[in-house]
Homo-oligomer: A and B are copies of this chain.
């Protein structure tokens, strides 16, 4: 298969979920960039290192600007609750409790952008529409997680789960400006298995079958989607459910 450079790729701000909080504002016809000095850009988190732990106070909205993370259920190191790729917010549900709900661990050398809750509040006093942006952002997160849940819960066979997972990853990458048909998945088979509620061996076997059937070409962590339509069909959910899924 074609080789893919594994060099860390940055998401563009234009394709980042959190850009509603960062991009300059138009105020009275003048562009106003309030974020300078407020947004902490590109903090490096090395592979296998934590960004935060469950129970940590939620102080900043954080977003993956490059790389990827897994969210792990505290106390069950084996139980993966989700993945976050470049351009995606991390654990936004934690705002409500004031504390993080999961451990976040970098799957590769990664970078995050962060903006403090206080800054958001401050800015919202100056820019009337700013909170509106945040509200839509939260609703977006809610939408995504609902989708995801619909895809992964319910009585679903191993094939359906993996097809849904791959199709979902493809769509997420596309949304954030990365190649949708050819990518590297930084997580281990174990992580995928845990996340999908399968055994590592089953993941391996199903992937091999997909490969054999010409749906994908996979070699280690590198994947090439050969027949996205058939994958979506295998996931057996309304097309509308996959279009904006993550």
Query: What is A's interface to B at a CB cutoff of 8 Å?
Result: 54-55, 73-76, 79-82, 91-97, 101, 121, 124-125, 128, 131-132, 134-136, 138-150, 152-156, 193-199, 237-238, 240-241, 244
Contact of A237 among B73, B91, B237, B244 (CB under 8 A): B73
**B146–A81 CB distance below 8 A:** yes
**A156–B96 CB distance below 8 A:** no
Given contacts A155-B199, A197-B155, contact A149 B145 (CB under 8 A): yes
Can you add 11 more A-B contacts, CB < 8 Å, to A95-B139, A149-B149, A154-B197? A73-B238, A93-B139, A93-B144, A94-B143, A96-B143, A101-B147, A131-B134, A138-B138, A153-B196, A153-B197, A156-B197
Copy number in the complex reads 2
**A101–B146 CB distance below 8 A:** yes
**A113–B150 Cα gap in the complex (Å)?**
26
A119 to chain B, nearest CB (A): 14
Contacts of A125 in B (CB 8 A): 128
Contact of A154 among B79, B95, B238 (CB under 8 A): B79
Contacts of A136 in B (CB 8 A): 95-96
Name which residue of chain B comes closest to A156, CB basis.
B197
Q: Can you report 19 residue pairs joining A to B where beta carbons are below 8 Å apart?
A: A73-B237, A74-B238, A75-B238, A79-B150, A81-B146, A81-B154, A93-B145, A94-B143, A95-B143, A101-B146, A125-B128, A138-B138, A145-B146, A149-B149, A149-B153, A152-B153, A153-B195, A153-B196, A155-B194
**A93–B153 CB distance below 8 A:** no
Contacts of A79 in B (CB 8 A): 150, 154
**A146–B240 Cα gap in the complex (Å)?**
22
Name which residue of chain B comes closest to A243, CB basis.
B97
Name which residue of chain B comes closest to A152, CB basis.
B153
**A34–B73 Cα gap in the complex (Å)?**
42
Contacts of A97 in B (CB 8 A): 143, 244
Contacts of A82 in B (CB 8 A): 149
**B132–A138 CB distance below 8 A:** no
